[in-house]
Amino acid sequence: MSGEPRNAWMLLAAIPFVFLLWVTGGAVAERVRELNTGEDVTVTDVSGCVEDGPPMSGRFPYCSASWRFDDGRTGHGRIDGEKVAKGDRIFAGDGFAYLSRSNRVLSLVMVALAGLVLLGMLIGLGVLYRMDRARRRRGK
The domain locations on the chain are: 3-139
Average pLDDT score, the chain: 83
43: buried, middle or exposed (CB in 10 Å: 19+, 13-18, 0-12)? buried
For residues 24-37, average pLDDT: 90
CA distance 90 to 34: 13
What confidence score (pLDDT) does residue 54 get?
Answer: 58
Strands (E), 8-61: 39-50
Contacts 24+ apart (CB under 8 A), 52-60: none
Mean pLDDT of 80-109: 88
Cα–Cα dist 41/50, whole Å: 21
Report d(CA 50, CA 59) in Å as an integer. 9
Residue of higher predicted confidence among 120 and 12: 120
Choose the weakest-confidence range: 17-21, 76-80, 94-98: 17-21
What is the Cα–Cα distance from 63 to 52, expressed in whole angstroms? Answer: 11
Confidence of residue 5 (pLDDT cuts 50, 70, 90): low
- pLDDT at residue 55 above 60? no
Among 30-44, 45-59, 111-125, which range has the highest average pLDDT?
Answer: 30-44
Q: Which residues contact 129 (CB under 8 A, 6 or more apart)?
A: 7, 10, 11, 14
The predicted structure's pLDDT at residue 53: 60
pLDDT at 43: 93
Handedness of CA 76, 82, 85, 90 (dihedral sign): negative
Residue 59 has pLDDT above 70, yes or no: no
